[in-house]
Structure 1
């Protein structure tokens, strides 16, 4: 980068009396620029820096001022190194004028925001579910391979695009490949739809959290009928935790077709959830990083306590034994690889847009490849520690349920022997000691085959392993399995409160990341939105709240499952494929990587150029085709609540729901072919033009055209900021 001498710095940042000289210098720079001489580069850089700080001082003073260098067109994007002041900015060019782009106050805040968006509670539970049902250690091996060779390269790609272009998730793709401008719009729509239903999960958490202050908590016991001492018969046929989830929280309908108005008891928690999201995002980057530090630190402290606590639960060893299981055969199962591939993309949050938008506020010299590895590694390590925690909890849960099942069987056998249905030899032992399950198993094995057959025909099967494998993924673990576990423990109110606070912190972090995927492109699209950031944040929050109320209706949980599990993977993979093609084949992977200072040469350049150009497109295309075949050849179903007998039943989605899914798919993906068609009809090139300042020109000047404000100017700016405060 071109270095400015101390005399040049003092000339650029002198007092008002000396600014005329700077203006004359910048004017002559513009004249020299038009001649295309090499000597013009320092003058243009000086003019750009002067313009940037002139605009900042003008904004502070609130006085309009004409620029003498507005006509100057830069060769490359100016980059400013991070400083300790909050007023750090990066220069971007937009429509011939210059404006300052704020940078993250600290890199740690950026990394916390990125990891908060990536680490989702629902992904953690889903990871454990796949571990249990898709091969254990073999699944983890497949996940790690896909993460290293597909997930991290694509995460690095999105981060590099935002950081290199200093543009949001919409504008960056118009520069990378002019025909691919629709990719940004598709990811924006995807982010908007995901934001509608993601915060509903936070509303469920807030609802449970508000009931955690009662004693006893309402999911410990069945409610009594009004004006009666009898329990609700619907609850009596199931467990209190299941009844509270389906009937008092969701007020769920028996079918998705049943419909119904908004559940009033969820409206206030949903509103509170959006107020929390708005409070963390309304002040922009200055407060966002600090808020994410609070949320992430709080979440990990509580999780560490839960991790230690779970290892000491009774029966935890029965759950932890699944850590050592591995089915080698799943390594050769293409369906498992397909499931893992989709899970990796979802875990990293690719295709939604927030990653590129968050990275656009980082200096261009930042090593985003290292950041991608750190974010992915933290996510993987978190998942690896979640596995023993969840398995220990499931082991305890299965142990308690097995004990209760055993005690119930003993009572049943005792009654049957007393009434003469079973012979006296079937009389169970009365002393169960402290381990009824082991005592019952030893007694059962001591019976003769004929008596044992009679006994087993009269009682339920109490299998600890079957209980563990019955655990479901997604919200059902948090709202069914864990709350039931907490109800078995002393001080259940305390454990429930901590657990839902941890869940809320993690889930809010994800929702805040999605919110940035909407706010940053909108702020960059209009000077009005840039000035009225609080109004924009409030308006988007209100809009999403009103639209999201649709998912708080009785069939809302069925629709959320449909969108999250069956609909979202298809447009996400399609968007990521288009992103990969735009960088690797339209812009050129090697050319793009050479523009990044940290990857100018060596093995890394060749490796990621090859991955982007060949491996990841092939893997994504195979995943996309496999997913389409699976979706359109097998009927999709959902687990519904049958209120008549208080059980979960499997139902198929009706045809009109599938039609709506197709409409949503077209809505999200159509901007890409429409923009491509527009480019073809208007002669927009497939590759970016050679004169684009972000591509070709920046390659030659990127490493030697870095300009930093002098220390004196930085101190002056900090002094003015303090006076303004």
Structure 2
């Protein structure tokens, strides 16, 4: 990097020469020459002047000439790798966004939050908040050509700690997310046998069915007792489980091999890990729609419950799902976009990622509701047949007259014949029958089936058991889940590796850095494969992760819209992409997005403060799932993790204040604005 004096001399020469017609200049946040020449002599005035220059959103007439190469001027590497083509870049963005949260949360939340109303709110928030935030993060990475740490330091040194917070969130999420993948990998391996091990209860030593399994069902027993070997409470601990440790090791080996050569090697893996899940999802969807009772499930899905539209709690849950599903705040969109030429149209990319994420969510939801409709219909038919048998027994016992005899055709089509038969009975006979019958209500049965979100693995295991050829469907289902998790973890680890490469100039040692990240991440993941590990995973995934993500995205929006300047940033993008950007994004970034994010953050914080945080545990004595309250130390751990992840923001803020007061000239030099030349159209990936 050049010295400050050289920068000032160069600036003086530029002011005396006309700018070549082929170069383009972007408005700078601060002019180094202007600040140095007008530096106040009084110490008390230094901070005020510098603060006003940075926080002002007024256009500055001083501009910097474009560089000869499309690279940052702040010490970032001069040869930054790029994605092999636009397809691989989009696959990376979509793969990170469409993860396990898309699959296992959306259907449950949709059912319990108004069905069609939940979908309407979700789509509305996606357009007004989700897509603008994706666009902001993608554009920031593409504009600055750096990871999350470097990007926000350049945009606003005052909020430079946001990048470190994103970095820490990626580390913690990466630790437990790899364990989610390990669970699915273990199921995938177990799927290569017939019958599937979770379809039947195991036999004890005396050749009788295991008593603990007999008191529950085989899928739940296999999950808690064979996979997790779960303890009854989070307080009871144990050593890491060998079979899950081996699965985690395989997962981290796959991640390391996929990323060791940078974006080009990662891109080839993404063709499988991103495209294959969509093929499998549509296969499962078609199969589920062919099942009896699917129509009833879809009817409940599409029925919009108007009161849900006015419920603040429904809006809060929808907002949480939107951000956990799309994935802003991790810094991964920024990192992935930093490897694409600046002329790329990232607005279209943001819409593409959001719509493909929505497509995966809706496809999974339709699939789950169709299967749940089949389960409920099957359960209801059994209820009808049981009631018909009761009526026959009462007729034989001469409690009911022969006129109450159900038709023989009822046994062939109970769903349609039973209601007609019961409704056509004379009123006096019906009044004598009803007290002896069990109520068969499809809606109530559906509520029982969708009572709790549970674990997606157990739900999918139950669904697979309903298909003919369950071994085949089990293999492709868990292959789907493994691939979804893999592409998401690759995006998360990209949010760790890219900032390290840019901050510490480690791009020449990318292979060593990748191994150096994956090895300690694997060791840290072993904390979650202990018998009580799943309870810690639930603690982080259900209660912790949303708070720092909301905090990050709020500060990102404020930094870009109010400190760097939304108008200035849109001007940069106009030049960068060679096309006008709608001014509506300035309004969304400046006003609507920060307001909605702040409401969601505060409502989530209040919700966690006033209500007990709970987890679903295994009660080995009664062989069933029970809801337990997390102990006070677990809540303290939650608070500690929230504080420790957001702490870099105030720390870096005060660091910036001290540096600017003590050595303003140094800070002026370190925060030089990034400039660039527009790329030839041929440089943009096809």
For the aligned pair, the TM-score class normalised by the smaller chain equals: 0.7 to 0.9
Q: Which residue of 2 aligns with 1:304?
A: 282
Q: Does 1:327 align with 2:305?
A: yes
- Name the count of aligned residue pairs: 633
- 2:495 pairs with 1:513: no
Which of 184, 194, 197 matches 1:218?
197
After TM superposition, list the pairs within 5 Å mapping 1:600-611 onto structure 2.
604-611=581-588
Which among 166, 173, 176 is matched to residue 155 of structure 2?
Answer: 176
Separation in 2, partners of 1:522, 1:294: 27
Among 113, 117, 122, the alignment partner of 1:138 is 117
Find the counterpart in structure 1 of residue 326 from structure 2.
348
Q: 1:570 aligns with which of 536, 547, 552?
A: 547
Is the contact between residue 344 and residue 577 of structure 2 (CA under 8 Å) also seen in structure 1?
Answer: no
Q: 2:532 aligns with which of 538, 555, 560?
A: 555
Deviations 1:401-425 (A, max 9, x none): 444555667778889999x898898
SS, match of residue 88 in structure 2? helix
CA-CA distance at 1:639 after TM superposition: 1.8
* 1:121 CA drift (Å): 2.8
State the match for 2:263 in structure 1. 285
Q: Distance in 1 between matches of 2:211 and 2:351?
A: 53
Shift of 1:469: 2.9
Q: Is the CA contact (8 Å cut-off) linking 1:93 and 1:99 kept in structure 2? A: no
Q: Match for residue 20 of structure 1?
A: none
Is the Cα contact below 8 Å between 1:168 and 1:521 reproduced in 2?
yes
Match of 1:268 among 226, 246, 249: 246
Cα 1:547–1:690 change in 2 (3 A) is closer
| Larger deviation, residues 392-401 vs 372-381 | 392-401
Does structure 1 retain, via aligned residues, the 8 Å contact 2:330–2:549? yes
TM-score scaled by structure 1?
A: 0.80
Distance 1:115 1:34 in 2: 46
CA contact (8 A) 1:486 1:496 kept: yes
Which residue of 2 is the match for residue 482 of structure 1? 460
State whether residues 77 and 693 of structure 1, in contact with CA within 8 Å, keep that contact through their aligned partners in structure 2: no
Q: Per the alignment, do residues 601 and 288 of structure 1 end up closer, same or farther by CA in structure 2, a change over 3 Å counting?
A: closer
Give CA-to-partner distance per residue, 1:227-278, whole Å, 9 cap, x none.
x221111111121111111211111111111222222231222222222222
**Residue aligning to 2:435:** 453
TM-aligned CA distance change 1:269 to 1:291, over 3 Å:
same
Report the CA distance between 1:475 and its aligned residue. 7.4
In structure 2, relative to structure 1, the CA distance for the partners of 1:641 and 1:464 (3 Å cut) is farther
Give the superposition deviation at 1:400: 3.1
Equivalent position of 2:473 in the other structure: 495
Cross-structure match for 2:72: 92
SS of the residue 1:649 aligns to:
strand
User: How much has 1:430 moved relative to structure 2?
Assistant: 8.2
Give the CA RMSD over aligned residues: 3.5
**Is residue 146 of structure 2 the alignment partner of residue 167 of structure 1?**
yes
Partners of 1:389 and 1:305 in 2: how far apart?
10
Counterpart contact for 2:291–2:374, Cα < 8 Å: yes
For the pair 1:198 / 2:180, whether they are aligned, the reply is no
Structure 1 residues 219 and 409 mapped into 2: Cα distance closer, same or farther (>3 Å)?
farther
TM-score after normalising by structure 2: 0.84
Deviation at 1:434, TM superposition (A): 3.3
Shift of 1:490: 2.1
Deviation at 1:122, TM superposition (A): 2.3
Distance 2:579 2:652 in 1: 36
Distance change (3 Å), C-alpha of 1:251 and 1:415: farther
Q: For residues 627-646 of structure 1, what are the structure 2 equivalents within 5 Å?
A: 627-646=604-623
Separation in 1, partners of 2:322, 2:223: 29
Secondary structure of residue in 1 paired with 2:486? helix
Mean Cα displacement is larger for which, 444-453 or 655-664?
444-453
1:240 aligns to 2:222 (yes or no): no
Q: Is it true that 1:121 corresponds to 2:100 in the alignment?
A: yes
Unaligned runs of 5+ in 2: 1-5, 24-62
Task: Give the C-alpha shift of residue 150 in structure 1.
Answer: 0.9
Q: Which has the higher contact order (CA 8 A, sep 6+)?
A: 2
Find out whether 1:586 has 2:566 as its counterpart.
Answer: no
CA distance in 2, matches of 1:202, 1:367: 33
